[in-house]
Structure 1
Amino acid sequence: IAVYKPRGVLSDLGNPTTTTEHPAVRDLVPLPGHLFPVGRLDLSSEGLILLTDDGALAHRLTHPRYAHEKEYHVLVEGHLPAETLDRWRTGVFLDGRRTAPADVSVLSVERNHTWLRVVLREGRKRQIRRVAAMLGHPVRRLIRVRIATLELGTLKPGQYRHLTDAEVAALQSPPTGHPSPKHSRHARSRKERKRGRNRKRSRKQR
């Protein structure tokens, strides 16, 4: 299920043992079944959240090994010079580690703000907000518009829709340029067996 999470809605399932004034994203989808959110969006952010009951799919979309893209439209304060955009693209240090390279481009420029398109292949906590603040351009609005191949499309805040079979199949496929773990393991096994045979031949020749 694709959901447009509005601002002020929790992206987790909520905790029935605690009281909160904020609804959870699961409350937006009045359907039976054990649906849980894939990934997170902080309370002040909005946009695409995927609800599923498929643990394997959730793992594929969130594990760093697969490096799935997530695309955001971000409204920041001020106008970003080229050198600031380059710093964001090449990575900055957060918590002692450099962020992975990101695709950052300008969508439009307003009087005192700039809309950016930001594509990440990693997901640290509040990463976009922290990087933007570090570069001197705090975030005023953040909308996730894509997870891997799944797009927000025409959904409005609070709306949801079922994925098509084609969309599910696309999400289950490895990202372009990233072989599936099964294929990678088999490839490594073949290489290791070949190296072992070569070592045996070398010892016999001696």
Structure 2
Amino acid sequence: MTRSGVRLQKFIAQAGLTSRRKAEEWIRAGRVQVNDRVVTEMGVVIDPSVDVVKVDGHVVEPLPTRRYVALYKPRFCVTTLYDPQGRPTVMDFVTSIRERIYPVGRLDFDAEGLLLLTNDGELAHRLIHPSYGVKKEYLVLVKGHPGKWFFQKWRDGVYLEEGKTSPAEVYLVKRERLGTWVRVIMHQGWYRQIKRMGQVTGYPVLRIKRIAYGPITLEGLKPGKFRELSRQEVRELYRLTGLNREGL
């Protein structure tokens, strides 16, 4: 044990085993060892690179540094770690990140816009899971000039193979000669859902650009560029998904 480093209970919490308060209870109960010596007092500081911590006889491995990235995914690249067809992947744009991070959900090959990447598996799972209802916002170009029926249909829900879609917020942005831009806010993410909704309602989707994922936006990003999320942004994602993480 060392006088400089991290407090024992914080180390256990950061390893993802439990909360800091619960870790203190484990220490008092004699369930924690440092270098094979049982520790029951508070205030012990360890050096994770040297000291071996065990809980109930099992070694506690520190988690890698958590990374949270917002990428402006360009069109015509796949949202995978590797593509057997040799197409560009979103990972080609985050090579300067040393930690192994993963896309949160996906965007179609020809879609563009905001994509989150992280190595925080629990947060990623909750962001994707429909029960947490984290909203995603898109600019969508549909072929033609839809009328009120189209907007109402998307707001009410469209019947697809999986069933009826959840109501979406849909707003007219602008009409062009051959198509119409609409803003779509959804809390759902079925496979190619927006494209299929357009097909079913008679207005094929020509372009998709995701501009927001929960509180995170594309502001300040250009295609192929990324930025690290701020601590406040990560806190907000935790709040939206019901996570409670210490140290942020």
Larger helix fraction of residues: 1
The answer to whether residue 106 in structure 2 is matched with residue 40 in structure 1 is yes
Q: CA deviation at 1:154?
A: 2.5
Runs of 4+ residues over 6 Å off in structure 1: none
Q: Distance in 1 between matches of 2:220 and 2:175?
A: 23
**Conservation of the 8 A alpha-carbon contact between 1:60 and 1:172:** no
The answer to whether residue 87 in structure 2 is matched with residue 22 in structure 1 is yes
Q: Distance in 2 between matches of 1:52 and 1:124?
A: 21
Q: CA deviation at 1:181?
A: 8.4
CA distance change for structure 1 residues 96 and 36 in 2, over 3 Å: closer, same or farther? closer
The answer to whether residue 85 in structure 2 is matched with residue 13 in structure 1 is no
Alignment of structure 1 residues 101-180 onto 2, 5 Å: 101-174=167-240, 180=242
Q: CA deviation at 1:64?
A: 1.2
Look up the match of 1:92. Answer: 158
Q: CA deviation at 1:21?
A: 3.2
Cα RMSD of the aligned pairs, angstroms, is 1.5
Q: Which amino acid aligns with 1:7?
A: R
Q: Give per-residue Cα distances to partners, 1:141-175, cap 9 Å, x unaligned.
A: 10001111111113111011111111111111126
Q: Which amino acid aligns with 1:24?
A: T
CA distance change for structure 1 residues 60 and 78 in 2, over 3 Å: closer, same or farther? same
Q: Give per-residue Cα distances to partners, 1:93-151, cap 9 Å, x unaligned.
A: 10151100000010111122110000111110000001111111111110001111111
Q: Distance in 1 between matches of 2:104 and 2:228?
A: 15
What TM-score do you get using the length of structure 1 for normalisation? Answer: 0.81
Alignment of structure 1 residues 74-93 onto 2, 5 Å: 74-93=140-159
Q: Which amino acid aligns with 2:186?
A: L
**Conservation of the 8 A alpha-carbon contact between 2:157 and 2:166:** yes
Q: How many residues align?
A: 175
CA distance change for structure 1 residues 62 and 96 in 2, over 3 Å: closer, same or farther? closer
Q: Give per-residue Cα distances to partners, 1:42-86, cap 9 Å, x unaligned.
A: 101111111101111101211111011000000111111001110
Q: Which one scores higher on RCO, CA 8 angstroms, separation ≥ 6?
A: 1
Q: Distance in 2 between matches of 1:141 and 1:56?
A: 31
What TM-score do you get using the length of structure 2 for normalisation? Answer: 0.68
- Structure 2 residue matching 1:59: 3-state secondary structure: helix
CA distance change for structure 1 residues 35 and 181 in 2, over 3 Å: closer, same or farther? closer
Q: Which amino acid aligns with 1:6?
A: P
Structure label with greater radius of gyration: 2
